[in-house]
Structure 1
């Protein structure tokens, strides 16, 4: 099982997007440690405008992991990308950009009226 750390803060919708994408695209079992940055001034100074930030066990970080292409590339470079899920997500995302009925972008995420909802 791989261990990942997510630097986040309460109510961060981008962090929720990253978590939904991670659940969809990661082929490996993982444990996600959420680090609340608002409780530490140093973390706020370092991550405040960068969240969500995902870090692997070696400490290598990914900023803006809520962008599917960035997360897929980061996972692929570690051999953790579910290629089938990524291909399906790419097809769904290209469908969202067309004027068709909104489609699911990630497990548990739905697009309605131009906004993404989890759940």
Structure 2
């Protein structure tokens, strides 16, 4: 199981977006440790304008990973990218749909009205 750390803060919609993308695009099982930066002045100074920051076990960080392409690249370098999910997401983002392809929700999520809801 992969262990990841997410530097975040309460109510961060970009962090929520990253978590939803991670659930969709990561092919491996992972454990996500959320680190609340607002509780520590040093963390606020370090990550305050850079969140969300996703860090792997080796300490390699992805800053502002809520852009699907950036997260997909970061996951692919580590061999963790679900290629099928990435292709489907790219089609959704570009407005294309192939015949017979159904839209796939993030693992553990449901699609409702075109939006993903984590359960």
TM-score category of the 2 structures, normalised to the smaller one: 0.7 to 0.9
Instruction: Give the aligned partner of residue 99 of structure 1.
Output: none
Can you give the 5+ residue segments of structure 2 that lack an aligned partner in the other structure? 97-102
TM-score, structure 1 normalization: 0.83
Moved over 3 A (4+): 108-112
Can you give the 5+ residue segments of structure 1 that lack an aligned partner in the other structure? 97-103
Alpha-carbon shift at residue 64 of structure 1 (Å): 1.1
How many aligned positions are there? 109
Aligned equivalents of 1:88, 1:66: Cα separation in 2:
17
Change (3 A) 1:51 1:109: farther
Aligned equivalents of 1:109, 1:37: Cα separation in 2:
29
Instruction: Give the aligned partner of residue 101 of structure 1.
Output: none
Change (3 A) 1:25 1:66: same
Instruction: Give the aligned partner of residue 64 of structure 1.
Output: 64
Q: Could you say what the CA RMSD is over the residues aligned between the two structures, in angstroms?
A: 2.2
